[in-house]
Structure formats: C-alpha cells, structure tokens
Structure 1
Amino acid sequence: MMRPVLLLALAASAWSAEFRVADYGAKAGGATVNTTAIQSAIDAAAKSGDGTIVFQPGVYLTGALFLKSGTHLRLDEGVELRGVQDQAAYPVMPTRVAGVEMEWPAALINVYQQQNVSITGKGTIDGDGKIWWDKYWKMRREEYEPKGLRWAVDYDCQRPRLIQIYKSSNVQLTGLTLKRPGFWTVHICYSQKTMVDGITIRNNSEARGPSTDGIDIDSSSGITVQHCDIECNDDAICLKAGRDADGLRVNRPCEKIAIRDNTVRAGAAGVTFGSETSGGIHDVEVSGLHVLPGVSAGILFKSASTRGGTIENINIHDVVMEGVNSAISITFNWNPSYSYAKMPEDVKDPPSYWKVLTEPVPPEKGLPHLRNVRISDVTATGVRQAFTVASYRDSPLQDVQLKNIGIEARSAGTIQNAQRWSFTNAQIKTADGSKVTCKDCTAISGLPEK
C-alpha cells in the first residue's frame, strides 16, 4: 500500500509584520460586530505579502472573514472570535456541501482559493450555532419528514460552517479550540497540502447540533490531521468524495491522507469513510486513534447504491476503542431516507440543486466498492457488537486483512457479502457466546471459532 504523503503547510515567518485589529476599529466585548474592521486588517496583512493578524484578549463578534494568501491569523489565549447570529453576515458563494456543488453561505473563517495561510494559537473560534440547529430540527421534524423530504432538508436549511478551506494549498490550522458551528466545523475541499494539528473541537456544550461534523476532508490530497481532540454530534473525522450524479461528474478523489494520534469523545464514529464516495477514497493511513464511550462506531465505512466510487488502499492501525456500539461497521445502504432523493410529483419549481440530487444514476455506476483494506493492532472493550458489515451481492467487500485484533463485545455480529477476508491473531470475546456470522461470503480465513 502506498504510504500517505505527509506535507506541512507553511507557517507565518517569525519576522512577518503584525496587523492589530484594534488599529482598524475592532472592539472586544461581544457587542460590536467587527466584520469590516477585522477584514480590513486581513486585507492590509495580505497587501504586505507576509502579515500576521493579531488581537488583544476578548470576544470579537464577527460575520464571515476571508483570509488571503500569505496571511497568518493568530488567536492567542484569551481571544475568541464569535460568529454573529445573522444569516446575512455569511454571503452565499459557490462551494460544495454534502457532496454537491452549489451556492451556500460562507463559513465564519474562509480560506477560499488561497495559498500559504495559517490559523494558529490557543484562542477560540465559536460559531454560536444553536439558532441554526433549532431551525434545522424544526424544519426537519415539522415540514420535511412528514412530506418524505428527509433528503432535502440538509440542503434547504443552509447553515454556516465554522472553517472552510476550499481550492487552497499550504494551509495550517493549529492549536485552537473550535466550538458550536452552525454546520460542519472544518471543511477541507478540493485542497492540497493542509495540516490540522492539535485542534480541540467541542460542539455539544449547549445542545447536540445536527451534522456538526468535526473535520471533513473532501476530494482533497496530501492532508494530515493529528493530535486533535474531538467531541461532536456526527462524523468526527470524515473522508468524502462527492455524492451521486454530481460526485460522479466531478470525479475527484480523496487521497494521500494521514490521520494520526487523535482522540474522539463523542460522535458517529472515530473515523468515517463516506457516505460521499463517488470520486473514490484511497491511500489513507489512520493510526493512533483513541475512541471513547459516546461514539457509535469505532471504524465506519458508509455509502449508498447511487454513490459509486471505490474505497481502497486503506491502512488502519493502533486503535483503541472503549464502549462503542460497533467496533467495525460497513454499510453500503446507509440512511435510505437521506441517501435516496426522489422528486415529489407535486413540486413545480424545485431548487436547481434538487434537480441535481434527484438526477438518476445508472445502476452499474451507482454501486460503491471496497477493497484492499488492512486493519491491525486494534483493542476494543465494552463494545455492543464487534462487526456490523454488509454490502451488495454485486459489490462484495474484497481483500480485507485483520491482524492483531482484540474485541470484547456483547455479541459478535455479522459480515455479509465479503470476499477474501483474512483474520490473523484475532480474538473476539462475546458475553453471549456468539461467533461472527458470515452470510454470502467466500474465502474467509482465520475467523475465530471461540
């Protein structure tokens, strides 16, 4: 397997000029909206060619900010950027959201088509996103689900992300505390050579926000995520590559990714592949992952029969899980009410992205595939079910190696539609005495009998 290329972004040079936001009219205290003042400091730093934007301690209320090439946003301890609760403060712009290219509100912090940008320090970026969470839950429960439109509400309820890195390279995000985004926390899309290091994410302090993913790596290359501590209410660290017809059209993979020495305290999974798999996900190494109770799955692969794409050349090792529902989960029919969009007959003038979401995908292109996956040196205790694994008969899960696996679970679980799986030094101890059940599998070797 190709080892992921680990590339460091360029930090601000030690001699770069400092641009104090107070000099441009910014005021701490959480009452004044400072968007224009902070952006003026950013623009001045960019014009200098190598500038650092700095703040005095305090809370700075702001709308969307756009970092420029060659700038360094430094948030020292005691500095907090807090997102203003005003949809108009996040201008709509072209981007990709949940696997589909479309217009969407800007993030609070945007690195949009830039190079050599760093965001560092011991300060905090707070999206103050609960108003968007409440709006989403109300729309979904009262309007969309009763009409069979679960698939549409995530796109119609447009919520700002916390940090967007889009079509950019040489970006460094280090040391900060990130909290309460309206939508995803960190979205790295169509980008290269980005380092996320030592970030703390705390999204559940006020409530459990919908789709408050931790770090989403989307059709990008040469990305490293390390030493992060994540508590969120969806995927903690997730690799994506486009959804359905639009993702197949773009056909851009997520590749050469290194994820190492991270802790996940709450979320859907410790590490997730998908469900947006259309462009393919390959050459990924995950190591040193610690998954704590409050997380549903330790390792999760998910897709749907309209996604397509191949997940391959994946190396996951040195993982510790405690109290998860499923240690290893693979589902290629994930969340059908969300995954399979169908245009209602009585809708006469749907949004353009509804047409994209409901564009048919030929069956031969829609089936996702998984092959060449190695999972080793895994310890899992207090697990509800060791394996929750299933694919389609026409798309079996192929060539998976599991080595040095120790799982203590209530039950062993099921593996369905798998080919050429090998277990080496694997121990699966179950409270109910069950063994792993294999359905429609071929060439499975070394599976523990006790």
Structure 2
Amino acid sequence: MNWKSTLKLVLIQIVLVGLCQHAWAQVPNKIEPFVTPFGEFDFHRPHFPDKSVNITDFGAKEGGKFKNTEAINKAIKQLSASGGGTVVVPPGKWLTGPIVLLSNINLHLEEGAELLFSQDFNDYLPEVLTNFEGSEVYAYSPFIYAFKQKNIAITGKGVLNGQGKPWWEQRKNPGFGNRKLIEMNENEVPLKERHFNSLDNYLPPVFFGPLYCQHVLLEGVTFKYGAFWTINPSFCEDLIVRGIHILTDGEYGHTPNGDGINPNSCTNVLIEYNTISTGDDCITIKSGRNKDGRRIGMPCKNILIRHNKGLRGHGGIVIGSEMSGGVENVYAYDCRFNGTDRVIRIKTDRGRGAYIRNCWFKDISADTIQREAIRINMLYSGGDRLPVQEVNSGTPVVENIHFENIRCAYAKRNIIQIIGLPEMPVNHVSFKNIELGGKLGIDVKDAKNITFDNLTISNKVGSPASISFSDSITIDKLKIAETAPEKLPILLNDVSHVQLTNLEYHSGKEMVKIAGKADHLEFDKSVPENKIVREAK
C-alpha cells in the first residue's frame, strides 16, 4: 500500500470516528413516531425483565485468548429459561465463537467491551438454516444467530469485531459456493439438499443473521469487519437498528460484500441515527433472489430510514437487487452521504420478478459521489435491452417512486439515470425540488409517467438530459446551471407525450434535439421554435 492510500485510510478513520461520535451524541432516547405516506409508525423497543447476569459468572475469561463461546451461550440459555433479562459483557477483550440469542435476552456490551469472533471455521459448525444473498441454505452459522425468537437485542457502547480476514481469503479458493447456490435456486433444488458446511463447499456467514424473529433491537454498538454482510435479518418483524456504527472498509482491510444493514423480507423496520462505512452498500432493502424469493413470497415492507450517515459504499440507500419477494412502502429522509458510489440506487434484473413500489426519498444530501447520484436500473446484470422479452413471473416491476429535496454537490457519472425494460418500463417516478451536479446529465431509457418538477442541474460533459424510448414525460421548471462547453441540446429520441415547460437553459443554437419517432410533444415559450432541431426520420 502506498503512502497516499495509507493517508486516505487514516483520514477516513478520523472522519468516521468524528461522525460516529457526533451521531451518537444526537441519538435521542425516545424513538419518535412518524407519519409516512403509507401510515403512521410508532416503534417501541422490546421489553426485558429487570434482571441481569455477567458472562464472567459463567466462566468467561478476558484477554482475547480464551474462547468464551460456551460461557456466553450458557448465560443466555439460563437467563432466557428463567424469563429473560440482560447478559452483560464487561470491559475487556472476549474471544468467542457464534452466539445464539434466545427470547427475552438483551446482550449488552459495556463501554470498553470488545467481542472478538473466532477465526476458526470449525467453531461455526454444526451448520444452521440461514440465508445467503436471498437463497435459503444450510451453512456456517452467522456470528450472531437467532431462529424464531422474540424480544432480542444487542445494545451498549461496546464493539463486535468479526476479525474476518480468514473468511475473505477463503473466498479465493475453489470451494466458494455462491454460484452453485444460485444454480440450486434456479433449478429449485430442495432446501434439504443445500448444504455448504466445509471449506470444499463454502459460504461466508453474515455477522448478525436472525431468522423469523419478532421484536429485534440493535442500539449503540459497533460492528467491525465480519466475513460478509453485516446486519442481515431475514423474515423478521418489528426490527429497530439505531445509533450503531458499522465499519467494514478501513485500516484492517476491506470486507468483500461487507454490506451494512440489509433487512431481507422483513416487516416494520426502523433504521435511524447510524454511521456506516462499508465499501459496499450501506443500507439495502432485499426480499429474496429469483425463484427462492418468489417461492417464499415475503415482501420487505414498511421501512423507515432516517438520520443516517454513510461514507464509503456502493450505495447510500439501495433497494435490490435481490427483491423477488417484493419491496413496498419505504420512506427515507434526512440522511447524508459522502463518498458512496451512489446516493440512492434501485436495482433489479430480468428473472427477479415481483416489484419495487411505493418508495419515497426526501431531504437527502450528498457530497462527492463516485458514480450516479440517483440510479434506477432494471438491467442490473448488464444485459441488452433488446430483444423485447415476454412478460412472465420473472419480469420485475418498478413503480411509484418519489424523490424530493435531494442535493448532491457532484457525481462522477450521471446525476440521474433510469434504465427500464422495453417490456416493462419504469413507471410513475417523480422528482421534485432537486439540485444535482455531476459529470453527465439526466439519462432516461424505457420509462413512462416520469415527472421532473423544479430541478437545478449542472453537468460537465454531453447533453444535460437525454430521454429515449419513453412515454409521458413531464419536465417543468428545469434550470440548467452549467453544462458541457459545447452546450449540447436536450435529446429526445423515440418518445411520445413529452411536455417541456419553464426551461432555463442559455444554450447556443439548439435547446432541444428530436430524433426517431416522436409525437405529442409540447413546449412552451421558454423553448423557442427556432431552437428545436428535428432530425429527418
């Protein structure tokens, strides 16, 4: 690693610590209710009996050398059996294998406590039922696991350190089974035949992976450097993740696919006051992959995301690409991102099926973004839009998505990009009160019923807006503050029912260029006829 890379990592750590401390300082004790377009939500922490035990009472030894797996799990079992309460991890370093949470247990890490998770693969056997990238499987246990439990929590100001490097290295070997599991999913191999429980047939475990649980709370703690995704509850209900710190990309290294918070097919989820630096997606809403997701058929819905900060990551707030059980009713507001690849990203693909619908993103700001500021992409795997394919159970739907009060200082690719499918265009998307700067402008393909209202944009290269193969596009009050030096026109190609009004664009000869088949186009006086160019058909 050269000195510039080292300096960059140090600066990230300094900024992250500062943001984290600032975020924690602002976390109110009370969880405020909130009214969303799809209903009012009033989240409550799970309640625990006023009883506590210390892991040292069960033989735990501090120092980071002695494995405390048995002592910690024994404390959890005994306290849960007697009605529940708080299992306390005191200050110090505590080595452990997988921890299994049981009903009515709050695992509380005091300030100065650090759980170090074992780097011995065998500690994570026997295999358990888990979920890997949206597919059901029997595999190595998550670092912290729970199955069909109620009222569980991890709280405090301590650290959970995954020490994940051995897991990362193992991914380079032939036994890494992600492609094999995808094939099992597509071929509908029964769950009982899906076993990945050795280094010859291997999948890295998620850090926190409860299944079919109710009333789950994560609050205050720090998660660092797991083997794979960090927070990945599946099929859970009433989930609160607040005031935590996630670091998977920093001085220790980069966790491959080290996503931050990934609820999968969960209902009633609150994600607030978190600080995340992952190198992968920060917050991602998922609901299963392809046939597995459609077979189980549990959507991820009623999601409230607010007051979060993200640094490194592929996306700040992401939906998909595993969304085959459906995603609906997502409300995200008052979040800030700096250095992520995208601010808001919706991704799906042919074969996923199901839907992403009823999503609102409001009052979100970002500084330097590495790729697109806002991206909706229905060709996530990069396939060609043509030929047009038959609409079937594997055809995804993206509709009713709303962006309001979004700010981004600079995106290194498009400021907005929408890529639909010719057989299933992105439908009903609105942008209101948007200020975005970037290298490239707005790019829309295969979309319908798209509304842009009061946008201020600037781009350095190419056209400020290019709209192709689309229908029913309304653009009102568009101010183009800067654009390419050659001042290219807005491009309309193979479009119908386009309305362009109140355009503020001090271009040269041309303001709008029309190509291909285009009909039902409406311009007001802000677009003079002599600045409209029509290519010969």
| Partner residue, 2:490 | none
Select which of 447, 451, 454 maps to 1:422: 451
Alignment of 1:331-346 (within 5 A): 331-335=377-381
The separation in 2 between residues aligned to 1:176 and 1:56, in whole angstroms, is 13
Question: How many pairs align?
Answer: 420
Q: Does 1:127 align with 2:132?
A: no
The separation in 1 between residues aligned to 2:462 and 2:349, in whole angstroms, is 32
Is the 1:5–1:257 contact (alpha carbons within 8 Å) kept by the matching residues of 2? no
Is the 1:8–1:194 contact (alpha carbons within 8 Å) kept by the matching residues of 2? no
The CA deviation at 1:182 is 0.3
The separation in 2 between residues aligned to 1:322 and 1:138, in whole angstroms, is 38
3-state SS in 2 of match to 1:382: strand
* Bigger RCO of structures 1 and 2 (CA < 8 A, at least 6 apart): 1
The CA deviation at 1:317 is 0.3
Q: Does 1:193 align with 2:227?
A: no
The CA deviation at 1:111 is 2.5
The separation in 2 between residues aligned to 1:203 and 1:7, in whole angstroms, is 28
The CA deviation at 1:413 is 3.9
Select which of 172, 175, 178 maps to 2:220: 175
Q: Does 1:392 align with 2:428?
A: no
Select which of 358, 361, 366 maps to 1:313: 358
Is the 2:130–2:209 contact (alpha carbons within 8 Å) kept by the matching residues of 1? no
The separation in 2 between residues aligned to 1:9 and 1:56, in whole angstroms, is 22
Residue deviations 1:42-95, cap 9 Å, x none?
Answer: 111112213211122111111111111111111011101111011121131112
TM-score (norm 1): 0.89
Residue deviations 1:342-394, cap 9 Å, x none?
Answer: xxxxxxxxxxxxxxxxxxx9851111111111110000112122022211101
Q: Over the residues paired in the alignment, what is the CA RMSD in angstroms?
A: 2.3
The CA deviation at 1:302 is 0.6
Larger radius of gyration: 2
Is the 2:308–2:334 contact (alpha carbons within 8 Å) kept by the matching residues of 1? yes
3-state SS in 1 of match to 2:311: strand
TM-score (norm 2): 0.75
The separation in 1 between residues aligned to 2:63 and 2:183, in whole angstroms, is 38
Q: Structure 1 counterpart of 2:149, which letter? A: Q
Select which of 4, 15, 20 maps to 2:54: 20
Is the 1:11–1:118 contact (alpha carbons within 8 Å) kept by the matching residues of 2? no
The separation in 1 between residues aligned to 2:347 and 2:213, in whole angstroms, is 27
The CA deviation at 1:178 is 0.4
Q: Does 1:277 align with 2:323?
A: yes
Is the 2:265–2:301 contact (alpha carbons within 8 Å) kept by the matching residues of 1? yes
Is the 2:348–2:378 contact (alpha carbons within 8 Å) kept by the matching residues of 1? yes
3-state SS in 2 of match to 1:364: coil
The separation in 1 between residues aligned to 2:147 and 2:55, in whole angstroms, is 21
Residue deviations 1:180-238, cap 9 Å, x none?
Answer: 01011011110001100001001112111211110111001001000000011221111
| Partner residue, 1:109 | 144
Q: 1:157 to 1:323 in 2, by over 3 A?
A: farther
Q: 1:362 to 1:244 in 2, by over 3 A?
A: farther
The separation in 1 between residues aligned to 2:124 and 2:443, in whole angstroms, is 45
Q: Which runs of 5+ in 1 are unaligned?
A: 338-360
Q: Which runs of 5+ in 2 are unaligned?
A: 1-36, 185-195, 384-388, 479-502, 506-537
The CA deviation at 1:139 is 4.5
Is the 2:142–2:205 contact (alpha carbons within 8 Å) kept by the matching residues of 1? yes
Q: Does 1:79 align with 2:113?
A: yes
The separation in 1 between residues aligned to 2:104 and 2:93, in whole angstroms, is 25
Give the 4+ runs in structure 1 shifted more than 2 A. Answer: 3-9, 137-140, 148-153, 431-434, 447-450
The separation in 1 between residues aligned to 2:202 and 2:313, in whole angstroms, is 21
Select which of 54, 58, 73 maps to 2:92: 58
Alignment of 1:3-402 (within 5 A): 3=39, 5-13=41-49, 16-91=50-125, 92-139=127-174, 157-205=202-250, 206-293=252-339, 295-324=340-369, 325-335=371-381, 364-384=392-412, 385-402=414-431
